Amino acid sequence: MSDEFARYNIDTSIRYGFLKHIDVDRIRGETTEDWSNQTLCRINECVVRLGVVKGEFHWHKHDNEDEFFYVVDGRLLIDLEGGETVELGPNQGVAVPKGKLHRTRAPVRTAMLMFEGATVTPTGDA
């Protein structure tokens, strides 16, 4: 990962296999970084990631993969090119289509699940 992304703790290795119990609250409680993104499991050609975040991610896009964000706890703002912002609270989600320039912001510590293609680069495509 480049120095530009050094402030993000991103782990793309699969943490849990099939039929393994995943305790999102426990993982969230053990996470101390301001921006953590860890891959929980793989389902077919997709992965489920848990983000525990506070602060702002950089503007980016994914050329070939759609993304789905689901807030477990906290508040997530997703800024979209063109000036629109989607605001999500607990138990709310939104899908961002491939190729759409976006950035996420969390004004408070937020836990979110992300569902995306297993080939996605979490920091975006160049």
What pLDDT shows up at residue 3?
A: 60
pLDDT by position in tens, the chain (length 126)? 456 667 788 999 999 999 999 999 999 999 999 999 999 999 999 999 999 999 999 999 999 999 999 999 999 999 999 999 999 999 999 999 999 999 999 999 999 999 999 999 888 875
Using CA atoms, how far apart are residues 118 and 77, in angstroms rounded to an integer? 24
What pLDDT shows up at residue 27?
A: 96
7: left (phi over 0), alpha (psi -120 to 50) or beta: alpha
What pLDDT shows up at residue 1?
A: 44
- The structural architecture, per CATH, of the domain 3-117 is Sandwich (2.60)
Using CA atoms, how far apart are residues 11 and 107, in angstroms rounded to an integer? 23
